[in-house]
Amino acid sequence: MLENYLPVLLFILVGLAFGVGPFYLGKALGPNRPDPEKLSAYECGFPAFEDARMKFDVRYYLIAILFILFDLEIAFLFPWATVFREFIVAGAAAWFVFGTVMVFLAILVIGYIVEWKNGALDWE
């Protein structure tokens, strides 16, 4: 029974060897000459001038959440589009499936319009 898992174990070990091996090989064989310039904090070519824990504008998070929402919409539509032809061939269920997806898209479009009207997509 355990011999069935041997290919999986070998796959994991080879993947780890290819992923972690070059890192340690470079660390062991590469030169290590640290100086103050290499050890300094690098941020866009100039020293940091503000606290790294400063607060972001909440609109940034709102845009990120909206992006994830509409990105997930596409993740639901691609599988539906690939199997919709099978529903057409099957017959009666095709209109029901098409209708449910149109309701789904209508809800998303209404949400998009509401967010647009409320100014959630405006950046000043």
Question: pLDDT of the chain along its 124 residues, tens only?
Answer: 778 899 999 999 999 999 999 999 999 999 988 888 777 776 566 666 666 677 767 777 777 888 888 888 888 888 888 888 888 887 767 888 889 889 988 998 898 888 888 877 777 6
Which residue, 103, 102, 84, is CA-closest to 94? 84
**What pLDDT does 8 receive?**
92
Total domains in the chain come to 2
Rounded to whole angstroms, the Cα distance separating 74 from 79 reads: 9
Tell me: do 25 and 64 sit in the same domain: no
Q: At 94, phi and psi to the nearest 5?
A: -60, -45
Tell me: do 28 and 77 sit in the same domain: no
> Which helix H or strand E contains 3, and what residues bound it?
none
Domain coverage including residue 83: 58-117
Task: Tell me if 44 is assigned to some domain.
Answer: no
